[in-house]
Amino acid sequence: MEEALLRAVLFGTPILLASLGALLSERAGVVNLGVEGMMALSALAAFAVAQEAGPALGALAGVGVGMFLGLFLGVFTVSLRANQFVAGLAVAALGLGASGLLGKRYEGVPLAHPLPEEGFALLALGLALALHYLLLGSRFGLYLRSVGENPRAADLFGVNVDGVRYGALGLGGGLVGLAGAYLSLAYRPSWTDGMTSGLGWVAIALVILAAWQPLRAVFGAYFFGLLFFLQFRLQGSVPIPSEAFAAMPYLLVILVLSLSGRTRAPKALGVPFERGR
Amino acid sequence: MRKLLPLVLVLLGLALGQGDKLKACFIYVGPIGDAGWTYAHDLGRKKAEAALPWLETRYVESVPEAQALPVIDRFVKEGCQVIFATSFGYMEAVLEGAKKYPNVIFAHATGIKRAPNVATYMADFYQVYYLNGLAAGALSKTGKVGYVAAFPIPEVKRHINAFTLGVRAVNPKAQVLVRWINAWYDPAKAREATEALLAQGADVFAFTEDTPTVIQTAAKKGAYSFGHYTPMLKFAPNHVVSGQIVHWDVIYIDFLKRVKEGVYTAKNLENVDYFWLLQHKAVEMGADYGVPINPKHVPLLQKAQMTVGGKKVSVYDRIMALMKDMQSPKPTFDPFTGPIQDRKGMVRIPAGKKATLQELLSMEWAAPGVVGDWPGEPK
């Protein structure tokens, strides 16, 4: 049982971090579908830098690449007002492709100095609490939410809508980058093409299921982690085929979170903001 | 003019050499990656190219099954004379492509259907799995050996069974706990499946999937493991005991030489099926190339005893003796020699008989000692 709870937290952590990142920008009205690719490229950057300069700098590099990709997405979604879904998918594809291409020479090498997973887990939990406070208890959070709900009104009150959105994408990207760094520096610890194996998409879905609330994302991510572990722990001891078991985490998380309360998206989510129109 | 003559000759030679090159092209199902199936095939391709000066190769990686035929079209247009398709799922595309291009030679890895211009090939590990099972049985203190497996198909089942027969030959009460992850490549699933087995008391690990995740996870908890497909010693130098290593180059070089010599043509491949084992040097038991057993674990295996034909022998000696036998041109030992019952008590291989190739390729039953879900288990 203890083992299961530990796995819930340790496997839930990358999903939580990536979810928090996507949640932050969505609260500011920008959908980030690039999470999977951002995680992949951050994981590679973290691994490459860690091998050369130590794991601490590696983790920073992961965060840095995540922030950069968040801002890069901002250029299209905020400044150029492109379709956020298309731009996000493009970033996902770009990140996955670029990481596969650039990462060739890092494949098949174990990481020299892995980081402890527990450290990342604590940090992620702390960040979730901080984000909760930031969104609901701080002035910046108020601006950020107002930009996500009604950017025109926020603009009239003197809030720099584009600036806040860039900020949310940058910070959110950093969180996604940290998730990538966790995978290649602690969870796995090595780099392979495609190592994010769809966790980014799970994180995006979790944002919606967690109703854009950081604390519910914590619960959702750990719950997913628990079920993911249990599919293997219970395989063979309960008369359910393993293929059906594999679908269980996804189904149960959807079920529980959809039963746990009303969901309302930020009103301006996915809508590019254009001043003075 | 005389000064130019050598240059002309060299150019002429190059031109002739060019025309004489054999072009072999490879379709890979996954990314070349770090350690798995496609990586091993690519290693084989590179070695073949280095060994055969007249060989020129090309490859395309991460080709989904539905895209295989367009890739074949492209390869033929580019002048490929031999096409290697390295995934079972390419079967339909290969057979269709072979009909469309009757002068091109196809070879299909793990395939089961042949044609005048389609051969099949496989480097199989079941003997090596048995030998590693012997070591695993000797090293497990809990009597529980963990096995993380990709898909419940005959190939993987054959390997689990061979491994389990080995484990049980040393420790007749041991269990092999199997977990299916239903993926060839999914580090997260491999990781959590290993964690689940560790939580259930497994202290030695083997696997059939495409990453070193099981090894890395097991080593964190001090558990022994066996690598798969490529040398994985470097991922846990203190905990990797041995493993299965493939040498696709052996098959590629043999096949391509015969094509070059005109022995194999696009008309006579109907019965060309490579099912190559230890004796053909297509597979190797090893933690690394040329390291059958990690020297750190040799003393433990020398100390461990097992009973063979009423006599006590060290597990290490037994492994080495059987390996030598199975590497010889005429092996006398085979892991699947009867009497073997499945875990339900049904006789699968009668006393004194060896499993036929057909029986090996269609194995669905589970050996005694295998614990866990077993999709497709015969009633």
pLDDT digits (tens, 9 = 90+) for A185-212: 999 899 988 889 899 999 999 998 888 9
Q: Mean pLDDT across the stretch A221-233? A: 92
Domain count, chain B: 2
Contacts of B192 in chain A (CB under 8 A): 7, 11, 228-229, 231-232
Write down which residue in B256, B280, B304 finishes a domain. Answer: B280
Q: Does A112 touch chain B (CB under 8 A)?
A: no
Residue B345 covered by a domain: yes
Residue B379 covered by a domain: no
Contacts of A199 in chain B (CB under 8 A): 188
- Examine the domain organization and report whether B218 and B73 are in the same domain: no
Q: B2-45, pLDDT tens digit by residue?
A: 555 555 555 554 444 445 789 999 999 888 876 778 889 999 99
Comparing CA positions, the residue from B116, B45, B303, B195 lying closest to residue A6 is B195
Comparing CA positions, the residue from B209, B199, B214, B213 lying closest to residue B229 is B209
Confidence tier at A20 by pLDDT (50, 70, 90): very high
For residue B14, the model assigns a pLDDT of: 47
Q: B123-132, pLDDT tens digit by residue?
A: 999 999 999 9
Residue B224 covered by a domain: yes
- Examine the domain organization and report whether B145 and B155 are in the same domain: yes
- Examine the domain organization and report whether B261 and B180 are in the same domain: no
Q: Does A270 touch chain B (CB under 8 A)?
A: no
Disruptive mutation site among A5, A10, A99, A188 for chain B (greatest number of B CBs within 10 Å): A188
Q: What are the tokens at B126?
A: 């079941």
CB B206 within 8 A of CB A25: no
Q: What is the ipTM of this complex?
A: 0.87
Residue B218 has pLDDT above 90, yes or no: yes
Q: Cβ–Cβ of A108/B35 closer than 8 Å?
A: yes
- Examine the domain organization and report whether B241 and B338 are in the same domain: yes
- Please report, for the domain that includes residue B212, its CATH number: 3.40.50.2300
Q: What is the DSSP letter of B35?
A: S
Q: Cβ–Cβ of B372/A236 closer than 8 Å?
A: yes
Residue B377 covered by a domain: no
- Examine the domain organization and report whether B32 and B159 are in the same domain: no
Which of B152, B182, B187 has its CB closest to that of A246? B182
- Examine the domain organization and report whether B102 and B141 are in the same domain: no
Q: B246-305, pLDDT tens digit by residue?
A: 999 999 999 999 999 999 999 999 999 999 999 999 999 999 999 999 999 999 999 999
- Examine the domain organization and report whether B198 and B329 are in the same domain: yes
- Examine the domain organization and report whether B267 and B131 are in the same domain: no
Q: What are the tokens at A276?
A: 């003075």
Residue B1 covered by a domain: no
CA dihedral A250→A202→A18→A178, nearest 10 degrees, is 100
Residue B6 covered by a domain: no
Residue B101 covered by a domain: yes
Measured distance CA(B359)–CA(B349) in Å, rounded: 9
Q: Cβ–Cβ of B192/A7 closer than 8 Å?
A: yes
- Examine the domain organization and report whether B191 and B254 are in the same domain: no
Q: Give the domain range for residue B50.
A: 11-124+248-280
Residue B327 covered by a domain: yes
Contacts of B199 in chain A (CB under 8 A): 3-4, 233
Q: Mean pLDDT across the stretch A251-257? A: 78
Distance from CA of A212 to the nearest CA of B (A): 25
Q: A136-163, pLDDT tens digit by residue?
A: 999 999 999 999 999 999 999 999 999 9
- Examine the domain organization and report whether B234 and B295 are in the same domain: yes
- Examine the domain organization and report whether B300 and B177 are in the same domain: yes
Residue of A nearest to B200 (CA): A233
Per residue, the 3-state secondary structure of chain A, as one string, reads: CHHHHHHHHHHHHHHHHHHHHHHHHHHCCCCCCCHHHHHHHHHHHHHHHHHHHCHHHHHHHHHHHHHHHHHHHHHHHHHCCCCHHHHHHHHHHHHHHHHHHHCHHHECCECCCCCCHHHHHHHHHHHHHHHHHHHHHCHHHHHHHHHHHCHHHHHHCCCCHHHHHHHHHHHHHHHHHHHHHHHHHHHCCEECCCCCCCHHHHHHHHHHHCCCCHHHHHHHHHHHHHHHHHHHHCECCECCCHHHHHHHHHHHHHHHHHHCCCCCCCCCCCCCCCCCC
- Examine the domain organization and report whether B274 and B288 are in the same domain: no
